[in-house]
C-alpha cells in the first residue's frame, strides 16, 4: 500500500534511496565503505592467528556494524512510500539478511559466518556507478546480455546434456576403481574437464577413458567459441545502435560516433547529447 | 514403405510426434519429466549409500520406467507412417537403446549401468523448445555452425597434427622416466596442455621439456582465438540476416541481407521493409 | 638450376607433385594413408606391451615404409625441374628427415624414436584439401592470420614481458622453499598460470604469493580477449571481402553473398562464380 | 624547471631519448641487448648449479652492467631539458630502480635478487617498435583497450564480487577441514576456479561444495565471453577506422568513419577518398 510520505520521510528517502543529490551520493559512498570494512573484518576474523589475538575486538566492531545496519534498515523501512514493496524487494531482503546472522549467533554459536551475506550488499556499488557516468556502459552490456539470453540458454542446455553424457560414459568406462565413484562425481569431473578448469583430483587412467576425456577437452576447448560468438555479435549490434541513437536534424541520417559534434554526411551541427540522461 | 495411417494412428502420431497441438505439447513435457526422473534414479543408484538402502525400490521404479518407455516405443512404431524410417532414424535407435539395458541386465548383471543412454533422449527437449519459440534462436546457432564447419574442420586438422607432433616431441625429450610412458600417453598430455585443461597428472620435469611445454601452452592459449573468430564472424552474419527474416514473395526463400532490394536467388523484387521498426 | 624435363620426368612430376589430375590425387591419398599407417606403428611400438610381442614385426614394417619413402624421395628428386630448390624446400627437408632415423638406428640404437618427424609430412593433407575444395576456407583463415600477425606479435611481446616479470616476482616472494627453485622455473610457473593451464605442480603458498598469483590469473583470463578480438575482427573483414569479391555487371555494386545468383540491388543476374578457380 | 640545453646536451638527448635518427636507433637496440643480457645473467645466477660454478664471474658482469646503467642514468639526467620531470617519470624511476639493488647488496646480502626490476626496462622495446612501424598496430590495440576500459571495469567489479561471494560460500560449506582454511584462501580458490586455471591444490570434497564449484566453473567458462565480446567489438570498430586513417584538413583530427564526408569534430568537408583502392 502506497502511503503519503511526510516531508521528513521524503527528505530521508531522497538521501537513502536517491543517488543524484550531493547528500545521497555521499550516503551511498559511506555505506559502501562501511560494507567493505565490515566484510574485511569478517575475512580477517576467519584467519586463526588474527582470531586469537583480535577476536574480541572483531566481535565488538561486528556488533557496531550490525547496530548501524539495523538502524539503516529501520530508517529505509520507515521512509519508504511502499514499505511492503521495499521489504520484499531483492535489496530489501539482502538488507535484512545482512543483519540477522549477528543476532542469530547469540542463540546458535558460529552463525556469524553467515555474515558473508553482507557482501551481496556491495552490489549497491552499481547504483553509485550511475553517479560516475558508467551506467551507459553497463546498459550496453546488460542489453547485449539480455538479447543473447535465449541463445545462451539453448547453448547451456546442450552443454549440460553433453556433460551428463560424458560423465556417465566415464563412470561406465573408468568406474569407482579409478576415482569415478558415482555418476554425480563423474559429472563433476566432466564439468571440471569441459570447462578446461582441470583440477586433476579425478583423472582417467584407462586408455579408452583418456581418449574420451581428450575428446571432451577438445569439445570444451572449441565450444567456448559459441557463447563468445553470441555475446560478441550482440555487443557489436548494441554498440552500433548506440552510434545510431539519434539523427542529424538537417539530413535525418544517423550512425554518428558518440563523440561526433558535426554530421558526417552533411556537415551540419549535431544536437547536444546528454549522455547522462540518455543512459 | 509409406503406409496409409488409420484415423487412430494419425491421432496418436500427432500427439506423440507432433509438438504444435495442446496434447502433443503436454505429451512431450510429460516425457521429458519421465526421462529426467528416470535418469535421476540411475544417478542416485550409483551412490553406494543410496544403493544399499533403496536399491530394491530403485530396481522396481527402473522396471516401471522401462515398461512405460517400451510401451511408448511400441506405439511410436505402430503409428508411424513409415516404420522402417523411424526405427532407423537417430531418435528411433536412441529410443530402442534406452530400454534395452534393463532387459539385458537379466542375463548380464551390471548392464543397467548402460541405462545412461537414456539421457540422450533428453535431446528431445529441443523439440519442445520449438513450442517455446526458442527454435529460431537454435536455428541461428545451427546455421552459423553449419556455415563455419569447413573452417572449423581445417582448424581442427591442424590442431591434431600440432598435438601429435608436440606429444611425440615430449615423448622423445621426457621419456617414460618422467611419466611420458608411451606416445599415445604423450599425445594425451599434449591435448590436456594445449586445451589449457592442465590436470597435472603428467607434467614435464626437464628444462627442455618445460620450455617446449610452455611454448605449447602459449600456442594453445592464442589459437583458441581462431575458432572463436570463425564462429563469431558467422554468427554476426546470421544475426544480421535474422533481422531481415522475411521471404521472397516469388521463390519463398529467405536469408537476404538487410539492404537487399531484390531476391538474391530469383531476382524478384523484395517487399519494402521498415528497417527502423524491424530493429 | 632449372633443367629440361624429359617426357617421363614430366609425367612423374605431374603425378607426384600435382594434385589436380586423377592419378596425382590418388597418389596423394595413398601417400597420406602410408604416412598415417607408418606413424601409427611408431606409436604402437612405443607401448611396452606391444613392443615386446610385435617388436620384430614392427621393425620389418618400419624398414618397408622407409624403403618406400626412400624410393619416393629419390623419384621426387629425379623428376624435379629444379632439384636443388626441392631438396632445400621445407617439404624436401622434411621428406629427407622422415627416412634418415631408420638408417641412423643401425649405428645409434634408439634413434628410430626420431621417426616421429615423419608426422610432419601429414601436413601434405592440406595439399589434398585443395582437391576437396576446402582451400578457399583455408585461404580466408590464412589471410586473416596474416593480416593480424603484427598485432599478435605486439601482444605476445607484452605477454612475455609480463610473464617474465610475474615469474621473477614470485621467485623473490615464494623462493626455492615453496617450489620456485630458479627464475626460469618461476617463469614456467607464470606461463602455466597466465595461460590458465594450471598444472598445480608448482603453486604459491604464502599469502602475498597467492595474491599476486590471483592477480596474474585475472590478467591471463581477461587478456585472452585481445588475440581473440584481433583475429575475429580480421576474419569478419576477410569474410566481408569474400562477399564483395566481384561486382554486378549491371549496377556495378558488390557485397553479394557467396550463394547469390541475382544482384540484391538491381535484380540483374550475376555472373557464374567459379569458386574452385577463384580460390 | 625547463633549462636551456647546450648543443652537446641536445645531441646526447637526441641519441638517448630520440628514436628516429640512425644513432638514436642504434643506441636503443644496444640498450635492449644489454638489458636482455643482464636479465639472462640474473636468471642463470638463480640456478644453483651455475651459481656455484660461475657465481663470481656473474657478480663481476653484474657490476659491469650496473656501472654502464649508472652512467646511462647520469647522462639521461644530465641532458634532460627538464631533469625533475624525467627523474619522476615512470621510465626515470624504473631506470633508477634498475641500478639500486647491486649497490644495496653491499649492505644487505641477497638484495641483488631485486635486480629483476631491470626487466621492466624491456618495455623500452615498444619505443623501438616505432622504428619498425609496428606502432600503428600497437595504437589500434591501445585505442580499442582505452575505449573498452569502462565496460571492462564494470565487468571486473562484478567478477570480483562474484568471486568473493563464491569464496565465502565455499568457506562456510567446506570449511578448514577440507582445505578452505580462511576466507581469503577460499577467495583465492574461487579465483583459481572461475578463471579456469584449476591448480587442484585446494578442491571441494563435499557434494554440496562440488555442486557450487561446478556452478562457478560454468559461470567462469561462460563469462569469459563478455570481455572478449567487448574488446572484439571495439577492435572491429578501430580496425575499420584505421582503414580511413587520414586527418581533417581543417582541425587535423582523425578517427572518421569510412563513409564520412564531413569532419565529425569541426564540420569541415573531408577530402575525397578512393575507398576501393584504400582497401
pLDDT confidence of residue B128: 59
Average pLDDT over residues B213-224: 89
In B, minimum Cα distance to C46 occurs at B182
What percentage of chain B reaches a pLDDT higher than 90?
Answer: 14
Average pLDDT over residues C223-233: 83
Is the ipTM here above 0.85? no
Cβ–Cβ contact B239 with C under 8 A: no
pLDDT confidence of residue A277: 35
Tell me which chains share at least 3 CB pairs under 8 Å with chain C.
A, B, D
Chain D positions touching B207 (Cβ under 8 A) are none
Min Cα separation A153/chain C (Å): 22
- Delineate the domains of chain D, giving CATH numbers in brackets: 7-134 (1.20.120.350), 147-226 (1.10.287.70)
Tell me which chains share at least 3 CB pairs under 8 Å with chain B.
A, C, D
Cβ–Cβ contact D74 with A under 8 A: no
| Rounded-to-integer distance, Cα A224 and Cα D222, Å | 7
**CB contact at 8 A, B95 and B66:** no
Binning pLDDT at 50, 70 and 90, where does residue B278 land?
Answer: very low
Cβ–Cβ contact D232 with B under 8 A: yes
Cβ <8 Å between D172 and A268: no
Pick C264's closest partner by Cβ from B211, B228, B260: B260
B78-110 pLDDT per residue, tens: 888 888 888 888 778 888 888 887 788 777 766
Cβ <8 Å between B169 and C201: no
Binning pLDDT at 50, 70 and 90, where does residue B192 land?
Answer: very high
- Most confidently modeled of B35-49, C110-124, C200-214? C200-214
Residue B21 pLDDT > 70: no
Tell me which chains share at least 3 CB pairs under 8 Å with chain A.
B, C, D
Cβ–Cβ contact B37 with C under 8 A: no
Residue C277 pLDDT > 50: no
Chain A positions touching D168 (Cβ under 8 A) are 116, 119
| Rounded-to-integer distance, Cα B233 and Cα C233, Å | 8
| Rounded-to-integer distance, Cα D119 and Cα D108, Å | 21
What percentage of chain A reaches a pLDDT higher than 70?
Answer: 77
Chain D positions touching C190 (Cβ under 8 A) are none
Min Cα separation B59/chain A (Å): 17
Terminal alpha carbon distance of chain D: 48
pLDDT confidence of residue C32: 81
What percentage of chain D reaches a pLDDT higher than 90?
Answer: 14
Binning pLDDT at 50, 70 and 90, where does residue A134 land?
Answer: low
Contacts with C155 (C-beta within 8 Å, 6 or more apart), sequence order: C226, C227, C230, D141
Q: Quick one: which of C112, C105, C121 has its CA closest to C51?
A: C112
pLDDT confidence of residue A185: 92
Chain C positions touching D220 (Cβ under 8 A) are 221
Chain B positions touching A237 (Cβ under 8 A) are 239
Min Cα separation C278/chain D (Å): 19
In A, minimum Cα distance to B116 occurs at A168
Contacts with C99 (C-beta within 8 Å, 6 or more apart), sequence order: C66, C69, C70, C73
| Rounded-to-integer distance, Cα A151 and Cα B134, Å | 8
Binning pLDDT at 50, 70 and 90, where does residue A224 land?
Answer: confident
Binning pLDDT at 50, 70 and 90, where does residue B199 land?
Answer: very high
Min Cα separation A142/chain B (Å): 18
Min Cα separation C240/chain D (Å): 12
Note which residues in 153-192 of chain B have CB less than 8 A from chain A: 156, 159, 184-185, 187-188, 191-192
D54-111 pLDDT per residue, tens: 988 988 888 898 899 899 899 988 888 888 888 888 778 888 888 887 788 777 766 6
pLDDT confidence of residue C279: 30
Residue B182 pLDDT > 80: yes
- E strands present in chain C: none
| Rounded-to-integer distance, Cα C198 and Cα D188, Å | 14
B126-153 pLDDT per residue, tens: 655 555 555 566 677 788 888 888 778 8
Cβ <8 Å between C226 and D230: no
Residue spans of chain D under pLDDT 50: 274-279
Pick B150's closest partner by Cβ from C43, C123, C137: C137
D59 against B25, higher pLDDT? D59
Cβ <8 Å between A229 and B232: yes
Pick C182's closest partner by Cβ from D46, D188, D234: D46
Chain D positions touching B196 (Cβ under 8 A) are 196
Chain C positions touching B196 (Cβ under 8 A) are 195-198
Average pLDDT over residues C151-177: 85
Mean pLDDT (chain A, rounded): 79
Cβ–Cβ contact B116 with A under 8 A: yes
Measured from the Cβ of residue A23, the count of other Cβ atoms closer than 10 Å reads: 12
Cβ <8 Å between C218 and D195: yes
Three-state DSSP class for residue C244: coil
B108-125 pLDDT per residue, tens: 766 666 666 676 676 666
Chain C positions touching B157 (Cβ under 8 A) are 125-126
Lowest mean pLDDT among A175-184, B130-139, C6-15, C167-176: B130-139
| Rounded-to-integer distance, Cα C173 and Cα C212, Å | 9
pLDDT confidence of residue B143: 81
Average pLDDT over residues B247-257: 67
| Rounded-to-integer distance, Cα B261 and Cα C271, Å | 18
Q: Across-strand partners of B262?
A: B269
pLDDT confidence of residue A214: 94
Lowest mean pLDDT among A109-123, B108-122, B165-179, C121-135: C121-135
All three cell numbers of D117, joined, read 626490476
Cβ–Cβ contact A198 with C under 8 A: yes
Lowest mean pLDDT among A274-278, C88-92, C232-236: A274-278
Binning pLDDT at 50, 70 and 90, where does residue A278 land?
Answer: very low
Contacts with D48 (C-beta within 8 Å, 6 or more apart), sequence order: C181, C182
pLDDT confidence of residue B110: 62
**CA pseudo-torsion sign B5, B11, B16, B19:** positive
pLDDT confidence of residue B189: 95
Terminal alpha carbon distance of chain A: 30
Which of D43, D192, D198, D211 is most worth mutating to test chain B (most B CB atoms within 10 A of its CB)? D198
pLDDT confidence of residue B277: 35
Cβ–Cβ contact A48 with B under 8 A: no
**CB contact at 8 A, D35 and D27:** no
Chain C positions touching B151 (Cβ under 8 A) are 137-138, 140-141
SS3 string of chain D? CCCCCCHHHHHHHHHHHCCCCHHHHHHHHHHHHHHHHHHHHHHHHCCHHHHHHHHHHHHHHHHHHHHHHHHHHHHHHHHCCCHHHHHHCHHHHHHHHCCHHHHHHHHCCCHHHHHHHHHHHHHHHHHHHCCCCCHHHHHHHHHHHHHCHHHHHHHHHHHHHHHHHHHHHHHHHCCHHHCCCCHHHHHHHHHHHHCCCCCCCCCCCCHHHHHHHHHHHHHHHHHCHHHHHHHHHHHHHHHHHHHCCCCCCCCCCCCCCCCCCECCCCCCECCCCCHHHHC
Chain B positions touching D228 (Cβ under 8 A) are 228
| Rounded-to-integer distance, Cα D189 and Cα D167, Å | 7
Min Cα separation C16/chain B (Å): 22
Pick A222's closest partner by Cβ from B47, B119, B227: B227
Chain C positions touching B184 (Cβ under 8 A) are 43, 46-47
Residue B258's H or E segment, with its range, is: none
Chain C positions touching B221 (Cβ under 8 A) are 195-197, 224
pLDDT confidence of residue B274: 43
Cβ <8 Å between D137 and C151: yes
Q: Across-strand partners of C13?
A: none
pLDDT confidence of residue A274: 45
Binning pLDDT at 50, 70 and 90, where does residue A275 land?
Answer: very low
Cβ <8 Å between C199 and A200: yes
Amino acid at each position: 500500500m502506497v502511503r503519503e510520505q511526510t516531508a521528513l520521510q521524503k527528505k530521508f528517502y531522497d538521501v537513502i534511496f536517491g543517488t543524484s543529490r550531493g547528500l545521497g551520493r555521499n550516503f551511498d559512498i559511506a555505506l559502501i565503505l562501511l560494507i567493505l570494512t565490515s566484510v574485511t573484518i569478517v575475512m580477517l576474523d576467519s584467519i586463526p592467528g588474527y582470531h586469537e589475538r583480535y577476536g574480541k575486538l572483531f566481535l565488538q566492531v561486528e556488533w557496531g556494524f550490525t547496530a548501524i545496519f539495523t538502524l539503516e534498515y529501520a530508517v529505509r523501512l520507515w521512509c519508504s512510500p511502499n514499505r511492503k514493496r521495499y521489504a520484499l524487494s531483492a535489496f530489501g531482503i539482502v538488507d535484512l539478511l545482512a543483519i540477522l546472522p549477528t543476532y542469530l549467533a547469540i542463540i546458535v554459536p558460529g552463525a556469524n559466518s553467515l555474515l558473508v551475506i553482507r557482501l551481496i550488499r556491495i552490489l549497491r556499488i552499481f547504483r553509485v556507478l550511475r553517479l560516475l557516468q558508467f551506467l551507459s556502459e553497463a546498459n550496453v552490456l546488460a542489453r547485449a546480455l539480455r538479447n543473447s539470453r535465449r541463445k545462451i540458454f539453448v547453448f547451456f542446455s546442450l552443454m549440460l546434456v553433453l556433460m551428463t553424457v560424458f560423465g556417465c560414459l566415464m563412470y561406465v568406462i573408468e568406474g569407482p576403481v579409478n576415482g569415478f565413484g558415482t555418476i554425480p562425481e563423474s559429472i563433476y569431473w566432466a564439468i571440471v574437464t569441459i570447462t578446461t578448469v582441470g583440477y586433476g583430483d579425478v583423472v582417467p587412467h584407462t586408455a579408452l577413458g583418456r581418449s574420451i576425456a581428450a575428446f571432451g577437452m577438445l569439445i570444451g576447448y572449441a565450444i567456448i567459441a559459441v557463447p563468445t560468438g553470441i555475446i560478441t555479435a550482440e555487443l557489436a549490434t548494441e554498440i552500433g545502435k548506440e552510434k545510431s541513437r539519434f539523427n542529424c536534424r538537417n539530413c535525418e541520417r544517423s550512425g554518428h560516433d558518440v563523440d561526433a559534434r558535426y554530421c558526417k554526411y552533411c556537415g551540419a551541427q549535431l544536437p547536444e547529447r546528454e549522455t547522462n540522461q540518455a543512459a
